[in-house]
Amino acid sequence: MKFEAVTIKDIAKALGLSTSTVSRALRDSYEISNDTKKIVLDYAKKINYRPNPIALSLKEKRSRSIGVIVCEIANSYFSQVINGIESVAYDRGYNVIISQSHESYEREVLDLQYLASRSIDGLIISISAETKDLEHLTKLHDRGFPIVFFDRVVDEIQTHKVITNSQGACDATTHLIRKNYKRIANISNATNLLITKSRIEGYKKALKDNGLKLDEALIEYCPHGGLVYEEVEKALDKLFMLDKKPDAVLSTTDKITTSCLRYFKARNIKIPDDIALIGFSNSELTELLSPPLSIVRQPAFKMGEAATNFLLELIESKRPITNFETKVMDTELIIRQSTR
């Protein structure tokens, strides 16, 4: 069942005017007499005329919509980022079209194909944990398509980016060291992601700064970003099978943090008595856990806002931008009782 809307043509016909007069009257052009304007405007209002954005898009070669690709919407971090994106986009008159990669490279490529062509004016993306080949993105970027990365960014593409620094992981690790934990495990996202490297780096820096020896056996990676519980389970199994078991765990993504909690609970491993846990998380419920969970919180909403401002700058700039910026934002370390 199609929904037939009113067009300029309808108004013109009804009023015995030409479409161009109506068009100009609606846009309050100086060339149209006040009388005509009033007649047109009144009638347009009466029949609830709305310009067809698709026709406008075709004409202006811009859709006023931006695409967003994240791994999962139902993840507190990403939903908060989307919230930030949506707030800026809405204010500036843009639609937000959201796609989920579900941590699948293949799906990410499909999403991009779907969003690209010209139905979106630009893209905000946090790449999937599986993504190693960037051709789908470089191909667009090289042709001048505006792309902004956030969270899981890539080095190979020169554009605006929004990330958090490695200080979050460093602070969390330092905190654990100060609390006298000696064998601090680190469970992170896929190895290929820059964000993983950055968080591992923060972790290593803290160890080094505090004179602790790095034990590579204490670092575990989740190739699917912790999307499947089993990979976190496997990682923890391995850690607990070590001769020298960890006495604390730093988990560096929302999803992995939740899985760690689930793992400990299932095995009746007590936090912080049996093991300490600090995790990256943006869930509002972490403070209500028992014990309340120490976390590293990312400024998700602000990251979404920043990414969108960057993207709209790229989209609306008259001339190609070559001077790109990477906005590095601070995380917030919230100490609660899961780390004694």
Partner DNA sequence: TTGTATGCGTTATCAT
Partner DNA sequence: ATGATAACGCATACAA
Q: Which residues bind DNA (CB under 7 A)?
A: 5, 7-9, 16-21, 23-24, 26-27, 30-33, 35-36, 50-52, 55-56, 58-59, 61
User: Rounded to an integer, what is the distance from CA 225 to the centroid of its chain?
Assistant: 14
51 binds its own copies (CB under 8 A): yes
Binder to its own copies among 25, 195, 218, 261 (CB under 8 A)? 261
Q: Which of residues 285-304 bind its own copies (CB under 8 A)?
A: 285-291
Count CB-CB contacts under 10 A for residue 273. 9
55 binds its own copies (CB under 8 A): yes
Phi, psi of 334 (to 5 degrees): -115, 110
34 binds its own copies (CB under 8 A): no
List CB contacts of 5: < 8 A, sequence separation 6 or more.
Answer: 50, 52
Distance CA 204, CA 184 (A): 10
Binder to its own copies among 41, 98, 194, 269 (CB under 8 A)? 98
- Binding partner of 21, given its own copies, DNA, none, CB within 5-8 angstroms per partner class: DNA
5 binds its own copies (CB under 8 A): yes
Distance CA 121, CA 119 (A): 7
Binder to its own copies among 11, 17, 97, 185 (CB under 8 A)? 97
Distance CA 281, CA 287 (A): 11
Encoded one letter per residue, x for contact with its own copies by CB under 8 A and - for no contact, window 144-183 reads xxx-------------------------------------
Task: Please give the single-letter amino acid code of residue 229.
Answer: Y
List CB contacts of 311: < 8 A, sequence separation 6 or more.
Answer: 66, 122, 123, 124, 146, 147, 148, 160
252 binds its own copies (CB under 8 A): no
58 binds its own copies (CB under 8 A): yes
Phi, psi of 312 (to 5 degrees): -65, -30
- Binding partner of 63, given DNA, its own copies, none, CB within 5-8 angstroms per partner class: its own copies
Which two structure tokens, joined as six digits, stand for 42? 């009144």
168: closest CA among 250, 47, 231, 70? Answer: 250
Distance CA 339, CA 127 (A): 31
Summarize as ranges the residues that interact with its own copies (CB under 8 A): 1-5, 48, 50-55, 57-58, 61-63, 65, 72-76, 79-80, 82-83, 86, 90, 95-100, 113-114, 116-119, 121, 139, 143-146, 258, 261-262, 265, 283-291, 314-315, 317-321
